[in-house]
Amino acid sequence: MMGHCLMMRKGEVHTAPVTYKANFSDNTWAQIIDACHKNQVPETWVVGNQKAMTINGADYVIDIIGKGHDDYADGSGKAPLTFQLHDCYADVNRMNSSNTNVGGWTSCAMRQTHLPAILALMPTEVQNGIREVNKLTSAGSQSSTINTTPDKLFLLSEIEIFGSVTYSKSGEGTQYDYYKAGNSKVKNRNGGAAYWNERSPLKDGSTRFCVASNTGTADYSGASSAAGVAFGFCF
């Protein structure tokens, strides 16, 4: 139940603390945001829990994919929960308008343009509640340099999904518990299994990024090829 104002004495107003329901999906997004910001997430909220969210008039399922996994960009500690779309966003999109991964995730169109546009369509309380976390990604163009970026919405790296590197450089984070537990890596879009984008540049070239295939395996595709978007975020 949401807190309410208590009159203690004349001129003084105290707000009762927000309480949270044990069943994750029974909470409002406002309650979930509050719990994360106060680092008071109930133990009953676990990886694999789901809740619906409406974005731009369409309903999506959101999964908890990690607990204490991502570092807040401001250095204040770990985000209590990490979330991801269970399936792909309605619209496909490209990492870049041309086949290049030069600059990697840091400067790609997906990060600079497409994901911010989606963020602007999310519920206002969610937009305001999302906090930047640090994401580690290769600089692209076969570089072994790992860049750190502060991100509100982000794509997962190859290792964050699969737990190993096949087509990407090492150093792009660690596998989320959701995928470590064996949950499906297949994501649907408009009723069918889809290829979905990762933020990892292909390690052996300068024109491609890694993707998860429509059968849930590690793969890669041209940077200008349209694929599904299944972004993550933290509060």
Enter the DSSP assignment of 110.
I
* 8 Å CB contact between 150 and 132: yes
State pLDDT tens for residues 197-216: 999 999 999 999 999 999 99
Q: Residues 27-51: pLDDT tens digits?
A: 999 999 999 999 999 999 999 999 9
Burial class (CB in 10 A: 0-12, 13-18, 19+), 213: middle
Whole-structure pTM value: 0.93
Domain extents in the chain = 19-36+44-234
- Whether the per-residue pLDDT at 7 is higher than 50: the answer is no
- Which residue reads 């994750």 in tokens? 24
Residue 73 in tokens:
């960009």
- Distance in angstroms (rounded) separating the CA atoms of residues 115 and 156: 13
Per-residue pLDDT at 17 exceeds 90: no
Report the mean per-residue pLDDT for the chain: 94
Point out the least confidently predicted range of 17-21, 125-129, 162-166, 184-188: 17-21
How far apart (Å, rounded) are the C-alpha atoms in residues 170 and 43? 32
